[in-house]
Structure 1
Amino acid sequence: MIPVRGHTGARVAVLGLGRSGLSAARSLRAGGAEALCWDDNPAAREAAQAEGFTCADLLQPGALDNVAALIVSPGIPHLYPSPNPVVAAALAAGIPVDNDIGLFFRSLATSDWQGYEIAPRVVAVTGSNGKSTTAALIHHILTATGRRSQLAGNIGRGVLDIDPPGDGDVVVLELSSYQTDLARALTPDIAVFTNLSPDHLDRHAGQGGYFAAKRRLFAEGGPDRAVIGVDEPEGLFLAGQMAEAAADDRVIRVSVTRKLTGPGWQVFARKGFLAEYRKGKQVASIDLRSVSGLPGAHNHQNACAAYAVARSLGLAPRVIEGALHSYPGLPHRSQIVATAEGVTYVNDSKATNVDSAAKALAAFPRIRWICGGLEKEGGLEALRGLTGAVAKAYVIGREAAAFALQLDVESEICTDMATAVARAVTEAEPGDTVLLAPAAASFDQYDNFEQRGTDFTEQVLKQL
């Protein structure tokens, strides 16, 4: 646990008692603060009270009196589409609003670090797609090569739940736009921006606000090194803002669409080969085609970003290459769950938006595509022309018929996962990939994308 610093003896309100909220309450208490908790869910309040926390409705008169700060969980709106009433009340009262990420960066460093030979480092990864895989891959490379590492944030443990890092340790964080948007402190040593595509637009009042939330990771704290995907205009702009000159190697540019040239530091992948260039010269190359845990160009982008971070931390190219080959992949993200009679079954339930689904569709030569769910803002128009590898789509979800009408491939309305998997298994031929890449949220039929991916996996195993 990381005890929160700066609030000793103070009363701090915590809104939302999920993983991050309850973790923040514990760390506040460990740091000598009084945590005053609230969640609209009675079961969440009971869990907090069972740990000895005081729960009180923060909208009641006087509830925010003498409160030094309000700590808000990431799922609770603080500005758009409209502030949560408790957040609005705190802002009106002049109470600082923060989240567990801000508390983490304010509290991580201690006087013990003065005795370390190598100070702990924090790597923070954000972006629309691939940030979970990139963060997990960085953590894997470090641990596989003998560096102590902890993975936390939007993946793994809550940031305040980790152990205090020791001499030479690395903390790898995955951070969502909800987390970077509100944190009052953001000071990673290395910051990573994977890419940007439309997502969570209601929470950020559009694409510009969404990018601004991601950009805060770089603008607020000034990382020592920035690893930036430049295949979208926003990434190219961000790299330009962070670099003092074309040869400034504090910025490592990453691409999977073109060869990067120039006097700076670049890592890119073309036709399955990763290349590292510095000062206009190639210094390393890795064949990614045989790395089973990272199929497709979108995963090659993740590999490039993770490679760049590992190089920044002093690891040699061949050492990194060996670790890439032992990476098992993440559940629900291009996860191979079975192979039978020449057919591969891949669970990419995390492909919850159009852009991530398009990248999954580009990773395999002939696809039986299971898609559908709660459609996101903007529809499916961006997928048109990108479905050339799809032999047929099997559409699930409560609005499966409306979803299917937007597709430019042959489709069958299946509604539920069991039917979709059964039909795909029956019709699949050797060389096909049965791919779950929904291009939609899961909440019309499942609690989350993990539950949807688990259902797919279970249905596949039943059929084989």
Structure 2
Amino acid sequence: MIPVRGYEGARVAVLGLGRSGLSAARAVRAGGAEPVCWDDNPAARAAAAGEGFACADLTGAGAFDGIAALIVSPGIPHLYPAPNPVVLAALEAGVPVDNDIGLFFRSLATPDWDGFVTAPRVVAVTGSNGKSTTSALIHHILQEAGRPAQLAGNIGRGVLDLEPPGEGAAVVLELSSYQTELARALTPDVAVFTNLSPDHLDRHAGLGGYFAAKRRLFAEGGPDRAVIGVDEIEGRFLAGQMAEGPADDRVIRVSSGQKLTGPGWQVFARKGFLAETRKGKQMASIDLRGISGLPGAHNHQNACAAYAACRALGLAPRVIEAALHSYPGLPHRSQVIAEAGGVTYVNDSKATNVDSAAKALGAFPRIRWICGGLEKEGGLDALKGTTGAVAKAYVIGREAAAFAMQLDVEAEVCTTMARAVERAMEEAEPGDTVLLAPAAASFDQYDNFEQRGEDFTAEVEKRLK
């Protein structure tokens, strides 16, 4: 655990008692402050009380008297589409609002660091798609290289549950826009921006607000190195803001699909090969085509971003290359779950928006596509023109018929995962990939995308026995 610093002897309110909220309450208490907790869910309050935390309704009059700060869990809106009443009460009382990410950055460094030969480093990864894979891949490379490393944030553990890092260690954080937007402290050593596509628009009042939340990691964080995907205009704009000039190698530009040139530091992938150039000279080249854990151009972009971050930490190209080949992939993200009769079965349940689904559709030559769910704002128009490899779609979800009507491929309304898997397997031919890439949220039928992916996996495995 990383004890929270700066609030010794004070009362700190904690709103939301899920994984990150309880973790924050424990760390606040460990740092010598008194947590005052609240959650609308009685079961969550009971769990907190079971750990000895005081719970108090933070919506009442005078609830913020004597409170030094309010710590908010990421799922709770603090601005758009409307602030939570507790957050609004804190703002009206002049109480600072923060989250566990802000607490982490303000509390990580200790006087012990003065005795380290090599201080710990923090790598923070944000973006629309590929955050989890890029973060996990950086963590994997560091471990394979013998560097002590921990992974947390929007993936794995809460940031305050980490052990204080020691000599030469690294912490890799996946950070969502919900987390970067509110954190009062953001000071990574290396910051990574993967890409940008429309998502969470209601929470950020549009694409501009969404990008602004991501941009805070760089503009306010002041990283020593910035790894920035430049395949969208927002990334090119961000790289331009961070760099002092074309040769400023504090910015490492990353691309998948285009060759990057110039006197700066670039890492890009074309036709399955990763290339690193610096000061106009090629420094390394890696063949990504045979790496089973990183299929498709979107994963090649993730590989470029992870490679660049690890190079910024001083790792040699050959060390990174060896680690790429041993990367097993993440569950629910282009995860090969079975191969039988010449058919490959891939679970990409994390493809919860149209952009991530489009990238998955470009990774395989002939696809039986299982899609559908709770449609996100913006519709499915962005999928048009990306479905050339789809032999047929099998649509799930409560609104499967309406979803299917928007697709530009042959589609069968299946509604349930069981029926979709059954029909896809019946019609699949050798060389086909049965791909779950929903292009939608899971909440109409499942608690989360993980549960949806597990259902897909179970249905495939049941029929292969």
- Measured after TM superposition, the shift of residue 290 of structure 1 is 0.5
* 1:441 alignment counterpart: 441
Q: Which moved more, 1:308-317 or 1:296-305?
A: 308-317
- Paired amino acid for 1:463: R
Partner of 1:120: 120
Give, in whole Å, the separation in 2 of the partners of 1:78 and 1:213: 13
Q: Deviations over 1:94-132 (max 9, x none)?
A: 000000000000000000000001000000000000000
Alignment of 1:339-354 (within 5 A): 339-354=339-354
**Equivalent position SS for 1:105:** helix
AA matched with 1:371? C
2:323 corresponding residue in structure 1: 323
**C-alpha separation in 2, matches of 1:236 and 1:463:** 47
- 1:256 matched to 2:256: yes
Matched residues in 2 for 1:170 and 1:228: separation? 20
Q: Give the RMSD, CA atoms, in angstroms.
A: 0.4
Secondary structure at 2:71 match in 1: strand
Aligned-residue sequence identity (percent) comes to 84
The alignment's TM-score, normalised by the length of structure 2, stands at 1.00
1:249-308 deviation per Cα after TM superposition (whole angstroms, max 9, x unaligned): 000000012100000000000000000000111110000001100000000000000000
Paired residue for 1:80?
80
The residue number in structure 2 matching 1:314 is 314
Give the number of equivalent residue pairs: 464
In structure 2, how many angstroms separate the alpha carbons of the residues matched to 1:259 and 1:62?
59
* Counterpart code for 2:65: D
User: Aligned partners of 1:70, 1:148: CA distance in 2, in Å?
Assistant: 33
Shift of 1:54: 0.2
Partner SS state of residue 17, structure 2: coil
Amino acid at match of 2:170: V
In the aligned structure 2, how far is the partner of 1:287 from the partner of 1:239? Answer: 26
1:198 Cα offset (Å): 0.2
Offset, 1:145: 1.0
C-alpha distance in structure 2 between counterparts of 1:202 and 1:310, whole Å = 34
Question: Could you tell me which residue of structure 2 aligns to residue 160 of structure 1?
Answer: 160
Aligned to 1:396: 396
What secondary structure does 1:452 align onto? helix
Cα pair 2:5 2:107 within 8 Å, conserved = yes
- In the alignment, which residue of structure 2 is the partner of 1:186? 186
- The amino acid of 1:207's aligned partner reads L
Q: Which runs of 4+ in 1 moved over 6 A?
A: none
Counterpart amino acid of residue 4 in structure 2:
V
3-state SS of 1:434 partner: strand
Kindly state the Cα deviation for residue 463 of structure 1 after the two structures are TM-superposed: 1.0
Counterpart-to-counterpart distance in 2, 1:385 and 1:224? 39
Q: Where does residue 303 of structure 2 map in the other structure? A: 303
Matched, 1:19 2:44: no
SS of corresponding position for 2:257: coil
Report the Cα offset of residue 243 of structure 1. 0.2
Distance 1:126 1:385 in 2: 27
* One-letter identity of the residue aligned with 2:181: D
Distance 1:149 1:260 in 2: 30
Cα distance in 2 between the residues matched to 1:368 and 1:281: 43
User: 1: CA distance between counterparts of 2:73 and 2:311?
Assistant: 34
Cα distance, 1:63 vs structure 2: 1.6
Distance 1:195 1:366 in 2: 26
Q: Aligned partners of 1:165 and 1:310: how far apart in 2?
A: 18
Amino acid at match of 2:39: D
Q: Distance in 2 between matches of 1:156 and 1:253?
A: 27
The answer to which of 54-63 and 172-181 deviates more is 54-63
Cα distance, 1:217 vs. partner? 0.2
Match runs of 1:277-426 below 5 Å:
277-426=277-426
Query: Which letter does structure 2 place at the counterpart of 1:390?
Result: V
> What residue identity is the alignment partner of 2:337?
V
Q: Deviations over 1:341-377 (max 9, x none)?
A: 0000000000000000000000000000000000000
For 1:297, what is the secondary structure of its paired residue?
Answer: helix
Provide the secondary structure at the position in 1 that maps to 2:344: strand
3-state SS of paired residue (2:36): strand
Shift of 1:61: 1.7
Per-residue CA deviations over 1:388-410 (Å, capped at 9, x if unaligned) read 00000000000000000000000
Q: Which amino acid aligns with 1:356?
A: S
CA distance in 1, matches of 2:90, 2:147: 42
Deviations 1:383-437 (A, max 9, x none): 0111000000000000000000000000000000000000000000000000000
Q: CA deviation at 1:60?
A: 1.4
> Which residue type is aligned with residue 134 of structure 1?
T
Conservation of the 8 A alpha-carbon contact between 2:257 and 2:271: no
Contact 2:297-2:359 at 8 Å conserved across structures: yes
Gapped runs of 5+ residues in structure 2? none
SS in structure 2 at match of 1:173: strand
Q: Which residue of 2 aligns with 1:147?
A: 147
Would you say 1:455 and 2:455 are equivalent positions?
yes
